[in-house]
Homo-oligomer: A and B are copies of this chain.
Amino acid sequence: MTPGEPKFRRRKEARPGEIVAAALQVFAERGFAAARLDDIAARAGVSKGALYLYFETKEDLFRAVVRDAVAPNLDAAAAVIGAGAEDFAGCVRALAGRLSALLAAGPFAAVAKMVVGESRNFPDLARIWHDQLAGRALALLTGLVAHGQARGEVRAGDPRFYAFSLAGPLVMGALWREVFIPVGAAPLDLQALAAQHVETVLEGLLASRGAHV
């Protein structure tokens, strides 16, 4: 539109990323079916036809969005795994900090919302999300707990359930923000929630216990 700007920006390399970024916004706002390719193209600053230079179909673009959201977070998760040399409590505290930072900052929660909403229509995406991210993270936590149990640091019990006890409030908090804040719910500080939750789940809610500390 601006006369100074070139009509054809010759940058094939940058385009897919720009399009995926625009698509993420629109898909997160509208969901897959209600998102219009027109809107995505407009937000990416390209024509509708240009989308098809980089992605075969709307579904293909959707997959790219989810995959692009998965990949970087895989690295983050791996980094946390690598740092797992500490004792159980320390490890859990570190994890909670990083995870809540991730959830609060990135498009992570938005993509999760999409995956939840479209899991039946795109089972392979749900599978990717599970196999690459959610399932892997849960397995990591489960292993951490089991390891702690083996070392006598953690009390007996189903370690997978403990993983839900550890992660659930953060997941719920992230979705809560995504879903209810836009319609007027009270703000929610994910990192503060994470910090308090970790101590809670480690030490217990009951005061009688806390008194012993």
* A contact residues vs B (CB 8 Å cutoff): 28-34, 88-89, 113-121, 123-124, 126-127, 130, 134-135, 145, 152-155, 157-158, 161-162, 164-173, 175-176, 178-180, 182-185, 192-193, 196-197, 200-210, 212-213
Secondary structure at the A interface, as helix, strand, loop or mixed, is helix
Closest residue on chain B to residue A207 by CB atoms: B155
Considering the complex of A and B, which 4 residue pairs feature the smallest CB-CB distances, nearest first?
A: A117-B117, A204-B204, A168-B169, A33-B33
Contact between A182 and B30 (Cβ–Cβ < 8 Å)? Answer: no
Q: In whole angstroms, what is the CA distance A206 to B38 when docked?
A: 54
Asked if residues A120 and B168 are in contact (CB atoms below 8 Å), the reply is: no
Given contacts A116-B116, A196-B161, contact A172 B167 (CB under 8 A): yes
Closest partner residue, chain B, to A175 (CB atom): B116
Asked if residues B207 and A205 are in contact (CB atoms below 8 Å), the reply is: no
Contacts of A176 in B (CB 8 A): 134, 164
A179 engages B115 (CB within 8 Å): yes
* CB atoms of B165 and A201 under 8 A apart: yes
With A and B bound together, what is the CA distance between A167 and B173 in angstroms?
10
Cα separation A185 to B142 with both chains bound (whole Å): 15
* Bound-complex Cα distance A29 to B135 (A): 22
With known contacts A31-B117, A120-B29, A180-B130, A162–B205 Cβ distance under 8 A: yes
